[in-house]
Amino acid sequence: MSINEIQDEIIDEFALFSDWMEKYEYIIDLGKNLPLIEEQYKDEDHLIKGCQSRVWLHAGLEGDKVVFTADSDAVITKGIIALLIRVLSNQPAEDVAQSDLYFIDKIGLKEHLSPTRSNGLVSMVKQMKMYGLALHAKN
């Protein structure tokens, strides 16, 4: 599936939730189940510092596709990371670099990607696209 097909799929899934509680319970669940980043990548080099929560991000290339793994010390942040990975991981590097992540706004989680929130997610998205760009150039 393409990046936008996955985004649309997530939007449809979130439409089923009747209130914020259900939505957050789902995100928390995603956070708990996110496959962890390999311990060796949980270091200073892969750390994206936020004022509120910390995020670690690693990108690798499998064929022409970028594979992301990530972690955070806060579970809600981690749940949103799980969504970002579902959308952007295993996609062609060029597509990652050029992606427009409209789903965050549509599922009502925009506040988590606001710079004032300072949870590391804004920088993480920027970093993911940078990786896409760099890996595409390398290819």
Active site residues: 51
Using a 10 angstrom Cβ sphere, with 0-12 exposed, 13-18 middle and 19 or more buried, the burial of residue 9 is: middle
User: β-strands 47-48, 65-72: how paired?
Assistant: unpaired
- C-beta of residue 118 within 8 angstroms of C-beta of residue 125: no
Min. distance of Cβ 55 from another protein in angstroms? 11
Min. distance of Cβ 88 from another protein in angstroms? 22
For another protein, give the closer residue by CB, 36 or 137.
36
Using a 10 angstrom Cβ sphere, with 0-12 exposed, 13-18 middle and 19 or more buried, the burial of residue 87 is: buried
Min. distance of Cβ 129 from another protein in angstroms? 24
For another protein, give the closer residue by CB, 52 or 98.
52
For another protein, give the closer residue by CB, 51 or 137.
51
Element (H, E) at 72: strand 65-72
Binding site for another protein (CB under 8 A): 20-21, 24-25, 28, 51-54, 73-77, 112, 118-119
For another protein, give the closer residue by CB, 31 or 92.
31
Hey, how many other C-beta atoms are within 10 angstroms of the C-beta on 14? 18
